[in-house]
Structure 1
Amino acid sequence: MKKYFALLVFLLPFVMSAAKTEKLDPENTLTIELKDGKVVIELFKDDAPNHVERIKKLASDGKYDGVVFHRVIEGFMAQTGDVEHGNSKNYKASRVGTGGSDLPDLKEEFNEREHVKGTCSMARSSSPNSANSQFFICFDNSSFLDGQYTVWGQVVEGIEFVDNIKLGSSSDNGSVDDPDVMIKVTVGSAKKAKKKASPKKKKEK
């Protein structure tokens, strides 16, 4: 009896995660393919509508595909999204982290969402209205960021793959040599069911 109970406890987080992803709105779900697996993110369209639309736009246009995690700090966060200087095809190590996209910066949409493990939030400069394409995913609770950065999503599946992102230098503000990349970023759930082909009608004789 104890063995069955232990197995149930072990499987419970996976069952709960699967149940949560089943309820997600595909139009407001982001999937990031990493080296170890896929990360599913729920998008908070009501809390940060303009930031969510920006993330979806860049993802749909393929701008995030191949972009590196250029700043990764243990116990804090992994930062990515520099589509200008951070794509692995034209990676500029000396400039990564300073670029954005060809779209205008966004006005802040600070909200009541907390920065906890798996929170996705927008990176910015000292100006509150300077977010563009870069974002970060929290490794742990970071409440000191609450109300100062725009939270736009939360990891609901695959957080273990986020934890495996290559760490950066502790003496160089998290900069990463040979960084990991976002292989593919798409709007929609990774578990989206494939449509079955309609059976062919028999030709009448």
Structure 2
Amino acid sequence: MARIKPQTLLLQSKKKKGPSRVSIPTIILYCTVLGLVALSLVATSRNWLRRSGEQTGAASSFELQEIDATIDTKKYDLPGYAILNTSKGDIVVELFKDGAPEIVDKFLDLCQKGHFKGMPFHRVIKHYVIQGGDSQGLGAEDWTSKGKLRSQLVTSPKHEAFMLGTSKNKQDSKSFVLFITTAPIPDLNDKLIVFGRVIKGEDVVQEIEEVDTDEHYRPKSPILIVNVILKREI
């Protein structure tokens, strides 16, 4: 039996202990698999983020619709009419909730506080206005001097008779003035903020307009607003 030389045994031992080499096709295969896994994870993550964003957007849109619905409901629930119970009869007024919302809100608040109960119509100017509220409000002379020019000016729908308004200069709770026009007033916007119109009781307004007054246009017999009743519908 032939003997194996020690040098040959040493070389065979090193070959057995050395690491086996990985082929290039195997490396390419591993890299391809890892790449596909990474792409799958990225696609899944993007899909999840997109769905999460859509759900959040839908929730936000729903919340906004709920808020808008609440605002519209509150606006709809506000009284749109006021009945002025006067010592001469009832005057029914439609309030311009869209045209003058701030003034209407103020008027409604004062009505609920009973501000107009017992308030007199302290100035009556025939063919112009009847006025209740602060006696230091718009002066009669202002109405008569401006009224002389009415035939020379263009009249708009807001300048018609039987419009409800308040002074542009006085809108606080202590001096809130009510005016009801009894004739078209061309320069109405210079003096008043119109926030309603008489839809029933024009004859009552005309009856108040015909009362006897003194030289300062004050009625000789008291004419009062006994109460104000607010209605959502008439």
- How far residue 129 of structure 1 moved from its aligned partner, in angstroms, is 4.1
Distance 2:179 2:186 in 1: 14
Choose which of 148, 165, 179 in structure 2 pairs with 1:136: 179
Answer 1 or 2: higher relative contact order, Cα 8 Å, separation at least 6: 1
Residue 163 of structure 2 is aligned to residue 119 of structure 1? yes
Larger CA Rg, structure 1 vs 2 = 2
Residue 211 of structure 2 is aligned to residue 167 of structure 1? yes
- How far residue 147 of structure 1 moved from its aligned partner, in angstroms, is 4.9
Residue 143 of structure 2 is aligned to residue 79 of structure 1? no
Per mean C-alpha deviation after superposition, the further-off stretch among 176-185 and 162-171 is 162-171
- How far residue 58 of structure 1 moved from its aligned partner, in angstroms, is 1.1
CA RMSD of aligned residues (A): 2.6
Q: 1:131/1:26 Cα in 2 relative to 1: closer, same or farther (>3 Å)?
A: closer
Alpha carbons 2:79, 2:230 under 8 Å: kept = yes
Choose which of 41, 46, 49 in structure 1 pairs with 2:98: 46
- How far residue 40 of structure 1 moved from its aligned partner, in angstroms, is 0.8
Equivalent residue pairs, number: 137
- How far residue 170 of structure 1 moved from its aligned partner, in angstroms, is 6.0
Distance 1:71 1:134 in 2: 11
Distance 1:122 1:163 in 2: 19
State the partner residue of 2:136: 98
Alpha carbons 2:88, 2:223 under 8 Å: kept = no
Q: 1:36/1:170 Cα in 2 relative to 1: closer, same or farther (>3 Å)?
A: closer
- How far residue 144 of structure 1 moved from its aligned partner, in angstroms, is 1.9
TM-score, length of structure 2 as denominator length? 0.52
Q: 1:189/1:160 Cα in 2 relative to 1: closer, same or farther (>3 Å)?
A: farther
Identity of aligned residues (%): 26
- How far residue 140 of structure 1 moved from its aligned partner, in angstroms, is 1.0
Tell me the alpha carbon deviations over residues 93-135 of structure 1, each in whole angstroms, 9 at most, x when there is no partner: xxxx138xxxxxxxxxxxx861211101112xxxx44333111
Alpha carbons 1:113, 1:146 under 8 Å: kept = no
State the partner residue of 1:91: none
TM-score, length of structure 1 as denominator length? 0.59
Task: Name the structure where helix makes up a greater proportion of residues.
Answer: 2
Choose which of 177, 195, 198 in structure 2 pairs with 1:152: 195
Distance 1:142 1:75 in 2: 9
State the partner residue of 2:74: none
- Secondary structure at the aligned position of 1:169 is classed as coil
Distance 1:147 1:113 in 2: 15
Distance 1:167 1:71 in 2: 11
Unaligned residue ranges in structure 1 (runs of 5+): 1-24, 83-96, 100-111, 192-205
Distance 1:189 1:68 in 2: 26
Q: 1:129/1:76 Cα in 2 relative to 1: closer, same or farther (>3 Å)?
A: closer
